[in-house]
Amino acid sequence: MTRINKAACIGGGVIGGGWIARFLLAGIDVDVFDPHPEATRIVSEVLANAEKAYAMLTGAPLAPRGKLTFRETLEQAVADADWIQESVPERLDLKRKVLTEIDKAARPDALIGSSTSGLLPTDLQRDMRHPERLFVAHPYNPVYLLPLVEIVGGEKTSMETIQAAMERLPPIGMKGVHIAKEIEAFVGDRLLEALWREALWLIKDDICTVETLDDVIRYSFGLRWAQMGLFQTYRIAGGEAGMRHFLAQFGPALKWNWTKLMDVVDLDDALVEKIGQQSDEQADGLSIRELERIRDENLVGILQTLKGGHGGKGWGAGKLLKDFEEGLWARASGSKKLTDIAKPLRLIETKVSPAWVDYNGHMTEHRYLQVFGDTSDALLRLIGVDFAYVERGHSYYTVETHIRHLGEAKLGHAIHSTCQLLSADDKRLQVFHTIYETATGEAIATAEHMLLHVDAKAGKAAPAPEEVLSKIRPIAEAHAKLPVPDGVGRHVGQKR
């Protein structure tokens, strides 16, 4: 799959900063140009929030963070980039000017995306020498967590450009949707505009407060939309007869005078003040950065839940996250070589994130098991038991576990794990994992596991194939020469 090698971001505000974080955390170097005097601070704060969110989002090994460089000129920023993302304020004259400057300075093969929320790409590309490579790449905030990008071409945009843009998004964990015809506000913002317009009337007419309106959304259909969208939700509402029955039953309601959708509310000073005051009360003293962190934690939880949906296959945005993680694991496995098997294998490097700690600020019990499980998975990938192997119907299952808690992993601590292979035969792997605090080298916990090779289709143990056993033997032979770790064979409650 084609990847982005070098990105440039012109504009580093809320959306531009989100793009910068998305690229950097995918391991892509980013050059930035933004003349705003606070650009460096704003981007650094967005990036800090993004890193916290990713630590909660996935345990897969992220690529080393890309290099962030602020440039003094637009020309310097775009010179070597193969994907250039423009995210300047939403003014046609400004965007057209900036995009034309990008077009003059960029490499001939560079893709140029605009983060506009509604300006037409045909209007944006009017003065460009190479308008065929300009497209709208409209993301959603926060860009580093919400994966959707609306890809919209103008009259002069080539289909090759659209296809190239769509292909480069999955490796950074994003989903491109091609909007077939350019239209003001595209698709997502058109839907939001309709809801927003009706919401403003409900507040103006004192039907409810902004908090009540938000509660109506987040406690009801917002939950449905998060995982099924609109039409699939209504298909279910139609019962066994499906969408046709739903439309027959509820279609006539569209003619009822329920909505003020075609009426534009007057956003006068009084209404602005009413909404502003109610919004302040709803925030209850929380700062914007605090609200962003709460939002990110909630989004991570939803994405993680969706990742486990549909029988573990993933659903909606969760399936996209699952596929993204599989790519991360595959890249990590390809880069990890068995260069030193004469000592326990160092397999997992991570940090204790806010989502991993209890009320004492210590890592919770089930997170230890998660790290130990990730360590076992990393070993299996080294011996060829990867996603493709599992899809063919075979795997190793953990059938016995014993964990010892020796120390405390605390919020923000860097930790790593090692694996010593105690014994192996054609069906079993006996492993001993240790979690260390990286800074001190202190052993925090150990786990002894017995893994059994199984034929998943037959539902029973089966010998591993020679392609796997041949990778196990040299590790087993090397580790047989190591001292037996303290704690091997212990049972719960055994005296030291």
Annotated binding site for NAD(+): 11-16
8 A C-beta contact, residue 427 and residue 461: yes
For residues 303 and 57, is the Cβ–Cβ distance under 8 A? yes
β-strand 428-437 against 443-455: which pairing, if any?
antiparallel
Residue 63 CA to residue 329 CA, distance in Å, equals 10
Name residue 33's beta-bridge partners: 10
Is 235 exposed, middle or buried, given 0-12, 13-18 or 19+ CB atoms closer than 10 A?
A: middle
What angle, rounded to 10 degrees, do the helices at 39-57 and 14-25 form? 50
Other beta carbons less than 10 A from residue 262's beta carbon: 6
- Checking DSSP bridges between strand 111-114 and strand 83-86, what pairing results, if any? parallel
C-alpha distances in Å from residue 165, one per residue of 59, 149, 159, 178 = 27, 10, 10, 10
- Quick one: how many helices (H) and strands (E) in the chain? 17, 14
Q: What is the DSSP string of 387-412?
A: HHHHHTTEEEEEEEEEEEE-S--BTT
Identity of the residue numbered 308: G
CB 342 within 8 A of CB 478: yes
Radius of gyration of the chain (CA): 27
Find out whether the peptide bond into 344 is cis, omega within 30 degrees of 0: no
* Residues that constitute the known binding site: 11-16
Strand 345-351 and strand 29-33: the pairing is unpaired
Distance CA 124, CA 87 (A): 13
3-state class (DSSP) for residue 428: strand
- SS3 of the chain: helix, strand, coil, percent, to 5: 45, 20, 35
The count of C-alpha atoms lying within 13 angstroms of the C-alpha of 143, restricted to the half-sphere facing its C-beta, is 29
With both helix axes pointing from N to C terminus, report the angle between 288-307 and 39-57 in degrees, rounded to the nearest 10. Answer: 30
Number of neighbouring beta carbons within 10 Å of residue 34: 24
Q: What is the DSSP-derived secondary structure letter of residue 478?
A: H
